[in-house]
Amino acid sequence: MEEPGPGAAPPEGRGRDERSLEALSLAGGGGATTAAGRQLPEGRRATLASALELEGTVLREGRLTQFVANNLERRIRLSGAPRGEPPAGGGGSSIPAIDPGALQDVVALAGQVAAQVDELLRNVHCGLQALTALSVGCIQTYRDGVESLGEAADLSIRAMYALVARCEELDRAMQPVPALAKRIRDMKGTLERLEGLCK
């Protein structure tokens, strides 16, 4: 912490810290005081540093002073304890004793939960097997349908080619028909003229 200037008024929290540090310095038994009972600034700084060194580690860099307290965990625990409650002595824990019956109940419940989890996993496994078998059946049916569709499409294409070939043959076979139709018309006209002459 940095020391305030000579004309600066210390805040309320800083005043409390300084009073506690004064108590530490008085407990350490060092430092000269004035007639009013307050220590001189230089002597006070030296006395505070020596008193703080009894409680932890003091590092000074110019006007900056750093303090690391010994047994910091215990001090934090004591500072967090409710007022009026006696602190645990010797750094002991305030955790109550463990009930063996509660532990047995926890073990029994854990066994029940483990059995239920095993049963759930078995049910999930059976369900997954059934779903897998159903999926395999659907895939096989789809494959058979695709194969049948391919065969049917191939047969249809072959039949269509055969029909086209037959139509071409029929077209070639029907080429003499127009000439034959013309001859039939000519013969019909000739017969009509003969009938007219006979009348």
Q: What is the percent of the chain where pLDDT is above 90?
A: 33
Q: What is the pLDDT of residue 28?
A: 46
* pLDDT tens by residue, 151-186: 999 999 999 999 999 999 999 988 888 888 899 999
Q: What is the pLDDT of residue 127?
A: 95
Give me Rg for the CA atoms of the chain.
57
| Domain residue spans of the chain | 100-198
Q: What is the pLDDT of residue 63?
A: 80
The pTM assigned to this predicted structure is 0.35
Question: Given its phi and psi angles, is residue 187 left (phi above 0), alpha (psi -120 to 50 degrees) or beta?
Answer: alpha
